[in-house]
Amino acid sequence: MTDLAQPVPSPAIEVQGLTKYYDGKAVVNDVSFQIPTGCVFGFLGCNGAGKSTTTKMLMGMVVPDAGSAKLLGHEVSTLDPQVRERIAYIAEGHPLYSWMSIREAIRFTKPFYKRWNQELLEQVLEHFGLPLTRKIRRLSKGQQAQVSLALAIAPQPELLILDDPTLGLDTVVRREFLESMIQIIQREGRTIMFSSHILGDVERVADRIGIMVDGRLQVDCTTEEFKQSVSKLVLEFDRPVNGSIVFPECKGVVGSRSILNQLEVIVVNLNDEHRLLAERLEPKQIETESMNLEDSFLEYTRTNRKSVPVFVDQLKSHS
């Protein structure tokens, strides 16, 4: 019998123990993860969590102090121009030469690439309604983001890495931009990694999420799994709590706070042990509240010192 099993494709991004120190402080600390080919990966974290530095290390813009990374199976530190041509990168703030017009920016970028798809570029520019003669500096932030996106996808990359592409955009433009981005980019099954600190954006488009807290990757799982893994136990008492009742320290408890006669406890992977501990406090009522991604993220990162890593087997969770 012939073995029909398909070979498992190598991950689009493989990161192993990436570490970066600035002034003796680890801004990225031993970060490891993998992004399967064809996946949309949302890279989350508060400002200063280390997302941008990690992304820059992936792109070879920042030299790591330890660890390594592979893009499309190739070491980042020795990335060939041929491999780099298959990867698009939009840096934070959409840096472009502001004195150029859109046409000049295209003329400048095009000669660097062999696989330049002018037709696709024109379609995208037309979709966004961008005038070719307009100077980059005269464009709004949203339009600059659109130009960056158009220039990034024209060489038909297999992997796109976008560092906070919606930073500085208002809600409407942000939503429009993200929807267009996913529609344009992912239609050929490309891999996308994009960082953001806006949860709503990620929730809508990402298959998987990674959350950085204080330079460490604390979460790496599917979006659904994360939503399910973080829960809120609400314990209601017949008297004001005001700090007199404290939930015991236990694995999975990332934080708690008291509001009037309620004690709210944020738990990762809620289990019987947590319920038992809650019952021992003899509350009048115990409720388990589900949380949307934004609430989960906020609660999870707000109490970051006690954050419990959430990792799920990558291949299993992606299948």
| Residues engaged in binding other proteins (CB under 8 A) | 52-53, 56, 59-63, 81-82, 84-85, 89, 91-93, 95-100, 107-109, 111-113
Distance CA 301, CA 307 (A): 7
CB nearer other proteins, residue 144 or residue 256: 144
**What is the dihedral angle through the alpha carbons of 176, 178, 181, 182, rounded to the nearest 10 degrees?**
-120
25: Cβ contacts below 8 Å, ≥ 6 apart:
none
Distance CA 202, CA 57 (A): 22
CB nearer other proteins, residue 54 or residue 296: 54
> Smallest distance from the beta carbon of 161 to other proteins, in angstroms?
9
> Smallest distance from the beta carbon of 66 to other proteins, in angstroms?
15
202 with 44: CB under 8 angstroms?
yes
- Give exposure, 181-202, as e/b (b: 16+ Cβ within 10 Å): bbebbbeeebbbbbbbbbbebb
55: Cβ contacts below 8 Å, ≥ 6 apart:
43, 161, 163, 193, 195
> Smallest distance from the beta carbon of 35 to other proteins, in angstroms?
18
CB nearer other proteins, residue 109 or residue 256: 109
CB nearer other proteins, residue 209 or residue 212: 212
> Smallest distance from the beta carbon of 73 to other proteins, in angstroms?
17
- φ/ψ of 73, rounded to 5, equals 80, 5
> Smallest distance from the beta carbon of 11 to other proteins, in angstroms?
21
**Strands (DSSP E) found in the chain:** 13-22, 25-35, 40-45, 66-71, 74-75, 87-90, 159-162, 191-196, 208-213, 216-222, 230-236, 253-259, 262-268, 285-289, 310-311
> Smallest distance from the beta carbon of 84 to other proteins, in angstroms?
4
Residues listed for the chain:
319
- Containing 13, the helix (H) or strand (E) segment is strand 13-22
> Smallest distance from the beta carbon of 160 to other proteins, in angstroms?
12
